[in-house]
Amino acid sequence: MKKLIILASCVCSFTAYAQVKLPLTKTVDSTDTYFGKTYKDPYRWLEHIKDTSVVSWFKQEANYSKAMLNNITGRDELIAEWKKLDKLQPAHINERTYMKGRIFYRKTLPGQKVGKLYYREGWTGTEQLLFDPQTYIKGKTLSIQNFSPSFDAKYVAISYTEGGGEIGTVKIMDVATKKFLKDKMYPTAGVEGWSFDNKSVLYMWLKSADNKDPQARLNPKTKLHKVGTAGTAADIDFFSNGSYPDLKIDAKAYPYVYTTNDNKNYVFAGIGTVANEMQLYYAPISQFYSGKIQWKPLCTKDDKLVRGIEMVGDKVFAITSKGVKNYKLLVTNIKNPDWKNAKTVAEEKPDQTLEAITHCKDYVLLTYSDGINTHTSKYDLATGKMSALKLPFSGTSYPFCLDNTTNECTVGITSWIKPNTEFDFNARAEVYKPGAFNKEPVFPPEYKNLEVKEVEVKGHDGVMIPLSIIYKKGTKLDGNNVCLMDSYGAYGISMIPYFDYVETGLATKGVVIAYPHVRGGSEKGETWYKAGYKTTKPNTWKDFNSCAEYLIAEKYTNPARLAGTGTSAGGILISRAITERPDLYAAAICNVGCANAMRGEFSANGPVNTPEFGTVKDSVECKALYEMDGMQHVVMGTKYPAVICVTGWNDPRVVPWEPGKFAAALQNASASGKPVILKVNYDDGHFTEDKNVTFANFADQFAFVLWQCGHPDFQLKSDNTAKLNK
């Protein structure tokens, strides 16, 4: 039951001495009643994102935040420093794909905003540029969403996007001529792959390109496009609920298809949601063009296959969470897949979680984590023996095999304070040598003057929470350090150690950086993930707050110098951390954050996320969503910390009104006198590859919270005409 009555209300604003004013934000008498309980939503009007009054409100908020952020010292210096560091680095090569002797990859040169698509003949061939997204359409900076070479390597399908959006245009390039064919597919969520005869390409069709349309991403389809065809009118609905209603594919799921050199006898399909458990189908490749494929289940959700699946001929290897906490590896035969009676290749380890698998010619490589460092083992396909591999140094490692008809692999290793270093690695000889593609990064001496401390913190319920702390050597624990905490806690995604000079670089300025490994991630296995999931979600932000209390008690910082940040689903964490314990923090960043969880499923990307967070249509999950909802827990007259909410206007994942409504609620309610601002990036989405946009975005975020935490390098400029006070 809903009712909507428009009322006007006045709010105080940060306008003294300000030339740019914070907009007055009206409230409305809007309510939802679920299972006998009524929930107020006074900022529901901001969900009408195309309404001129809403567009104007966001624009005024953007102008106000820009005026304030431009007036903080140190902001421009951060951008200049990051650009300088970026130019010091060697070229960065990623997304390598091997096909028919050719290697296709994205390469970003030092100082470049976005990467370009290249290829070479073999490992040592001459590099050739295929596609430059910066020059393709004059006046626009595009980004490569993804790409897929045909099996004969004569064509490459490229999906590109604009402005940080995730609506792709797919075009097909002739590799020999480096020219696009007449084919064009739009709107899409990217290219999926090719038919083995190289005559057709598969892509994810979307109903609408409008990220703000709640219907845009419902009932997507995998479509089949014949190469050389202009337009999409003749494209075939290859896999969807429409073409296969008997499979009962949910409207919110993404039905995808893939073909692979690992087994050319079959075509594979899957049902994509945010749920970790795979739901896959397969059929003989002879049915590819039949018009009605007889799909058979390869695995169901009940099999609980997660994290990785690899095919080696007719053998199918997969990680499972069924009946175990830290995951184990199974193998079955594709001719008669039986996961209930599958052979266990690697039993669960008591002290390490199985993170990922890949394979080369003679081995399956397994990656484990002890929560901080990863460890690699290899399974010999011929003998069935398992053995541990020694890595060049400790850290987070990720092996992959570009051409798995050989034993030549690549492994990258990074840590909190060591940049990613890549090695070429022969799995049989177990010999490492410097990587042929990515050279070792270069950083100034101050980055070597950092250290890390790993501790465990007692949580609100007695559970021990891992906490990683990074700081400059010699830092005094006198309670006066500025500290930035960052965490996530959703989808089972762990805060694995990685080097990020944008955030880690703050430690060189004396800032303590802390990463709580909260429940909702999977640092301690599947049970750790499910302990921060739906009804247990409060553990996520309570763990974060427990770590904040520890940092204060151990004199790393104090509440006047402590800031927290959460991004995307981490918006639940940070919005509830500060609404539950506003006394712990001086400032907070809600970066493209889910801060209005009860309304999330009514956005374009919301339905696909209900397996992770829940739905208001279920009585138990509805209560859980209320607990997660930061906006719902803003209380009038509370002394909240300074808050910067950030949104990308082109964001397809977290619609701008989620952080917008949270910012509006805080602006109306806070009694602390500290600023609450909404930064609107009109050239961005959920994120963007464009480094110029990214650097400016994070410089604004960090400058704001460091200013509020009293860092001497980040203060308001002396020009009184630009001061913004309450």
Q: Specify the 3-state DSSP secondary structure of 32.
A: strand
What is the model's pLDDT at position 722? 43
Q: Which residues contact 36 (CB under 8 A, 6 or more apart)?
A: none
196 in a structural domain: no
Q: Give the pair of three-digit tokens for residue 81.
A: 């420093």
Is the residue at 188 inside a domain?
no
| Cβ atoms < 10 Å from Cβ of 419 | 18
| Same domain assignment for residues 479 and 595 | yes
* Ordered DSSP codes for 39-104: EE-TTGGGG-TTSHHHHHHHHHHHHHHHHHHTTBTTHHHHHHHHHHHHHHSPPEEEEEEEETTEEE
Q: Does the model's pTM come out above 0.75?
A: yes
Indicate whether 380 and 518 sit together in one domain.
Answer: no
Is 463 in a helix, a strand, or coil? coil
| 512-516/642-648 β-pairing | unpaired
Please report the pLDDT score of residue 17 as a whole number.
35
d(CA 619, CA 343): 40
Check whether residue 399 and residue 477 sit in a common domain. Answer: no
Amino acid at 458: K
What is the spatial order of strands in the sheet that 315-320 belongs to? 305-312, 315-320, 328-333, 343-346
Of 397, 417, 441, the last residue of a domain is 441
Going by DSSP bridges, is the β-strand pair 128-131/254-258 parallel, antiparallel, or unpaired? unpaired
Give the pLDDT of residue 1: 30
Where is the domain boundary, 378, 412, 441?
441
CATH code, domain carrying 555: 3.40.50.1820
| CB burial string 319-348: b at 16+ within 10 A, e below | bbbbebbbbbbbbbebeebebeebeebbeb
Q: How far is CA 13 from CA 322, 568, 630, 645, in A?
A: 54, 27, 21, 16
Is residue 708 assigned to a domain? yes
pLDDT value for 19:
65
pLDDT at 21: 86
The alpha carbon of residue 327 and the mean position of all alpha carbons in its chain are separated, in whole angstroms, by: 23
- Structural contact between residues 510 and 493, judged by C-beta atoms closer than 8 angstroms: no
Q: Dig out the tokens for 204 from the structure.
A: 């994810």
- 603 exposed, middle or buried (CB, 10 Å; 0-12, 13-18, 19+)? buried
Quote the CA–CA distance of 405 and 261 in Å, as a whole number.
10
User: Where would I find the H helices in 224-270?
Assistant: none
- For 499, the 3-state DSSP assignment is coil
Q: What is the DSSP letter of 558?
A: -
Q: Which domain holds residue 362?
A: 354-441
- Calculate the alpha carbon distances from 633 to 467, 538, 627 in Å: 27, 13, 8
**Cα 200 to Cα 668: distance, rounded to the nearest angstrom:** 55
Residue 287's SS3 state is helix
Of 419, 441, 463, the residue at which a domain comes to its end is: 441
Distance CA 285, CA 283 (A): 6
Q: Residue 289: inside a domain, yes or no?
A: no
Confidence at residue 719, expressed as pLDDT on a 0 to 100 scale: 52
* Same domain as 620, residue 526: yes
Residue type, 119: Y
Q: Which of 246, 302, 239, 243 is nearest to 272 (CA)?
A: 239
Task: Count other C-beta atoms under 10 Å from residue 108's C-beta.
Answer: 18
Q: Are residues 366 and 433 in the same domain?
A: yes
Asked whether residue 450 falls in the same domain as residue 432, the answer is: no
The answer to whether residues 695 and 712 belong to one domain is yes
* 463 and 401 housed in the same domain: no
- Same domain? For 638 and 547 the reply is yes
DSSP string over 216-231: TTSS-EEEEEETT--S
Whether 565 and 646 map to the same domain: the answer is yes
Residue 593 maps to a domain: yes
Residue 640 per-residue DSSP state = P
Q: How many CA atoms are closer than 13 Å to the CA of 722, on its beta-carbon side?
A: 15
Q: Is residue 12 part of a domain?
A: yes
115 found inside a domain: no
Q: How far is CA 489 from CA 517, 523, 533, 572, in A?
A: 8, 10, 9, 9
Give 513-544 as a DSSP string.
EEEE--BTB-TT-HHHHHTTSGGGTHHHHHHH
Give a yes or no: residue 300 inside a domain: no
Query: Residues of the chain whose pLDDT is less than 50?
Result: 1-18, 720-726
Q: Tokens 């010292």 — which residue?
A: 73
Query: How many domains are there within the chain?
Result: 2
Looking at the structure, tell me whether residues 501 and 563 fall in a common domain. Answer: yes
- Identify whether residues 477 and 545 lie together within a single domain: yes
